[in-house]
Amino acid sequence: MRRPLLRAIIAGVALAAAAEGSAACTNTGSFERWLSEFKAEARAKGISPGAIAALDGVALDQGIIARDRRQSVFSQSFLEFSDRMAAKYRIDKGRQLISERNALFGKVEQQFGVPAPVIVAFWALETDFGHDSGHLPTLTSLATLAYDCRRPEKFRAELLDALRIIQKGDLTPGEMVGSWAGEIGQTQFVPSIYLKYAIDYEGDGKADLIHNATDVVASTANYLNGLGWRRGEPWLKEVHVPESMDWAEADLTIQRPVSEWLRRGVRIADGSNIPGELPASLLLPMGRHGPAFLTFQNFKVFLDWNQSLVYSTTVAYLATRVAGAPPITRGTAVPFGYEPTVGLQQLLKARGFYNGDVDGKLGIGTRASVKQAQQKFGLPADSYPSPELVARLQPH
């Protein structure tokens, strides 16, 4: 990247940081008073005194607020993130677990329609198969975020549901230890999802997603089924795309039958036969010079689990690898990291192409703005930024 472009991007970072700092909310008032009022609300909503007592002694954790403000790992490129998260040992471990628990996975797939590789892929990425489910007290995390000014209503509801889990008897307050955002268990359910989808598949009288792998597998499948998983259909397939492709067609909002993609020269990398009538979208997570995939209806389930495109694509790719697919063709795309993306978002905002958060993440909204700008300037509209696009966006 030429030095003037780099300076422009760095300037964009500084502007974005200043804007974010001015927009950040500030907490006022007493946390203890807030907690007392919350307990009264919980009583009014029918939560038992015993469950509410779990909040006694809970204190504000400024470290949780700091984590909530921090930039995310999802600002990494797809290849950076997938190289780390879809590593060989996770592929091997996933296959091993499926082999060891073949009867369980078979029963779960028959009941819920979700194949084993998809379940273990989420299990792998969320907690490394239960080895790292988090170590922070869930009630402290949720109470802190429910008090905090940034997203109080969201976490207030989750804190109420956490108390309902205690009241139900699935977990004790001491067992509720997880991530900083209050997610619980080996596939990291927030309390509202835990209440709705956690299953006592072991039959021991409680749905335990922290210690019981049988409950984890079945509950994860139950949740994916609830998100709309389509039995027997693919989710992601690597493809090879001809240079003559209209790159603007690579967009998750555009769906065409597989037969139409094949007619346009797209080829399934492993040569597998996909029903021609299935609707699919072309996804280029790092533009026309990087890996290429066809995504199917089931890919929307991955996005509903986690809206980060880099996360969803990585876990879907890992599931294909566990299922036996070979490694992807990497291409020659250059990663566009956090700081360049912040600068790009600021430039896109200044030119009226983007109105989202300046967060350094090359997500669906930013990619749509990149595509719009590429089309405006007559550049290949593959939704992935380039030095040429940054040059065009600079004020003249």
Strand ranges (E), the chain: 136-137, 177-178, 236-240, 256-257, 267-268, 279-283, 293-295
- Is the per-residue pLDDT at 331 higher than 80? yes
List, edge to edge, every strand of the sheet that includes 279-283.
256-257, 279-283, 293-295, 236-240, 267-268
Task: Give the separation between CA 141 and CA 183, rounded to whole angstroms.
Answer: 9
The model's pLDDT over 261-282, given as tens digits with 9 standing for 90+, comes to 999 999 999 999 999 999 999 9
Identify the pLDDT of residue 184. Answer: 96
The model's pLDDT over 64-109, given as tens digits with 9 standing for 90+, comes to 999 987 756 678 899 999 999 999 999 999 999 999 999 999 999 9
Amino acid identity of residue 45, one-letter, is K
Supply the pTM of this predicted model. 0.90
- Is the per-residue pLDDT at 127 higher than 50? yes
Structural domains of the chain in order of their starting residue, each with its CATH number: 77-132+230-334 (1.10.530.10), 338-393 (no CATH)
- Is the per-residue pLDDT at 25 higher than 60? yes
Task: Give the separation between CA 238 and CA 282, rounded to whole angstroms.
Answer: 10
- Is the per-residue pLDDT at 379 higher than 60? yes
The model's pLDDT over 192-246, given as tens digits with 9 standing for 90+, comes to 999 999 999 999 999 999 999 999 999 999 999 999 999 999 999 999 999 999 9
Looking at every residue in the chain, the average pLDDT score rounds to 92
